[in-house]
Amino acid sequence: MYSEDEIRVEQLGECRYESPLTPLLDYRQYSINYVEESDRILVDNTVSSLSDELQSGRALTGLEPAGARRKIFFDPATTRAGIVTCGGLCPGLNNVIRSLVNEFTRRYQIQSVFGFCNGYQGLVSASERPPVELTPDSVKDIHEHGGTILGSSRGQQNPSEIVDRLLEMEINILMVIGGDGTIRGAMAIAEEVSKRQLEISVIGVPKTIDNDIMFTDQSFGFQTAIAEGTSAVRAAHVEACGAPQGVGLVKLMGRHSGFIACYASLAVNDANFVLIPEVPFELDGEHGLLACLKQRLRQSGNAVIVVAEGAGQHLMQRVNQTDASGNQRLGDVGVWLKSEIERHFAENDWCLNLKYIDPSYVIRSVPANPYDSVYCSRLAHNAVHAAMSGRTKMVVSRWHTRFVHVPMSLAIRERNCVDPNGDLWMTVLESTGQPPRFG
């Protein structure tokens, strides 16, 4: 599928230092789990895809496994690391920060770890908030709280200015936690580093509450997010049943990918209609959403609609704007759908009780649940291992349950989406009883 070139991770140089060990870990020559560097994790794990690859005569390719290396590139004694969180909030940010700090200082005995504040804004000289020094003690309890102690922001900054700043602060490793826009920014920084022939590693920890980044089984915070989304769907169901001709309408996150909408709907099975960006829908027509909604109300007296924020954009008047991260501003499909449904039913003298629920920031701001908490720690540890070994311009990820290194260019090439012909969407169709297409 992917060529060696596409899949190869850049490295700053030869690993000349021994990985340090704490006295306890060294005790009795305990066999530390150093990763087998020469191994690779297959991108596709079916026999058929592999046979194709073999028949084509190409060498088998795979993703580099993440993990601790026996030899490392950076000298712990002189290494200084920086951490920055960018873009919208997502459960688990503080867990990642905390585990990065702990791994840098405890495992690799690095003395100086800094947090840059308010996203890339904190990496330029004009920053409102100065960088803060991070220690195991200062991050001790932060994982119990949502959000990010460093603050965040959307948007890019001048890569050259950022590299100046890193040099000024003698930072060798920059950890960037953010989504595809942020990773694009990190690539630009890494390229500037490379242009100037510097030895600064830029490593990404992919953050997307929508679970829309490729080569990652599930993005951190996603499971926490679906639990909160589930509460909203449950509330919509209760409200729909609590009034004659009750309709509960929930807008959940998902700009390009409807994973949260699908999972939150499946978790309680109370949704009757799930609308996601991957599957266009029509309001009108014999099997349009409005017709199906009327049928449901006639039969059951209530209905629950779950809509992902990126769904139905083709139906709304274009909002030709982008936000600071360069993301196109979406029309508010929830508010629009509410008014379209209410208008349509009012025109038909049909008395409706529509309750609209939009929980977005509540979902983004909760602390990571225990599973995500552990996942964040492991991602962070692997990010530190990667950085210490001199890898750069890559993100850490988990693919088919194995932690791997993915070049930034590959990670942002496509989006991870709900496959309209796949089994997740099929399960949604079976559970809601909705038609495969509205229209």
- Residue list 101-160, contact with its own copies (CB under 8 A): 102-103, 106-107, 118, 121, 128-129, 141, 143-149, 151-153
Ligand-binding annotation for 124, yes or no, is: no
Question: Hey, which residues does 248 pair with through a beta bridge?
Answer: 304, 355
In whole angstroms, the minimum distance from the beta carbon of 193 to its own copies comes to 26
**Closest separation in Å from C-beta 58 to its own copies:** 12
Q: Give the span between the Cα atoms of 196 and 247, in whole angstroms.
A: 59
Task: Residue 367: name the closest of 228, 197, 218 by CA.
Answer: 228
Segment near its own copies (CB under 8 A), from 2-10, 177-185, 339-347, 349-357? 349-357
Distance in angstroms (rounded) separating the CA atoms of residues 62 and 40: 5
The piece of 18-26, 174-182, 311-319, 338-346 that touches its own copies (CB under 8 A) is 18-26
Q: Give, to the nearest 10 degrees, the angle between helix 370-388 and helix 93-102.
A: 40
Q: Which region among 187-195, 341-349, 369-377, 386-394 touches its own copies (by CB under 8 A)? A: 369-377
> Which amino acid type is present at position 152?
S
* 179 marked ligand binding residue: yes
Among 67, 100, 64, 66, CA closest to 83: 100
Q: Which position among 14, 33, 125, 321 is part of the footprint of its own copies (CB under 8 A)?
A: 33
Annotation-wise, does 57 bind a ligand? no
Our answer to whether residue 26 is catalytic in this structure is no
Q: What is the spatial distance between Cα 292 and Cα 434, in angstroms, rounded to a whole number?
A: 8
Q: Which C-beta is closer to its own copies: that of 104 or that of 114?
A: 104
* Closer to its own copies by Cβ: residue 199 or 433: 433
Question: How many residues lie near its own copies (CB under 8 A)?
Answer: 113
Choice among 210, 212, 270, 372 that is catalytic: 210
DSSP 275-327: E-TTS---SSSTTSHHHHHHHHHHHHSEEEEEEETTTTGGGSPP---B-TTSP
Closest separation in Å from C-beta 194 to its own copies:
28
**Interface pattern 157-196 for its own copies (x via CB under 8 A):** ----------------------------------------
Q: Is the dihedral of CA 303, 308, 312, 318 positive or negative?
A: positive
415 DSSP 8-state letter: B
> Residue 328: what are its φ and ψ, rounded to 5°?
-65, 135
Find the binding residues for its own copies in span 260-319 (CB under 8 A). 263-264, 266-269, 287, 301
- The single residue among 51, 78, 300, 339 that binds its own copies, judged by CB under 8 A, is 51
Using CA atoms, how far residue 65 sits from 7, 27, 41, 363, 409, in Å, is: 12, 26, 6, 32, 17
Among 16, 30, 167, 298, binds its own copies (CB under 8 A): 30
Choice from 13, 14, 28, 168 touching its own copies (CB under 8 A): 28
389 near its own copies, rule: CB under 8 A: no
Phi/psi region, residue 268 (left: phi>0; alpha: psi -120 to 50; beta: rest), is: alpha
Axis crossing angle, helix 180-195 with helix 159-168, rounded to the nearest 10: 70
List, by residue number, the catalytic residues. 210
Binding residues: 88, 154-155, 179-182, 208-210, 253-255, 309, 361-364
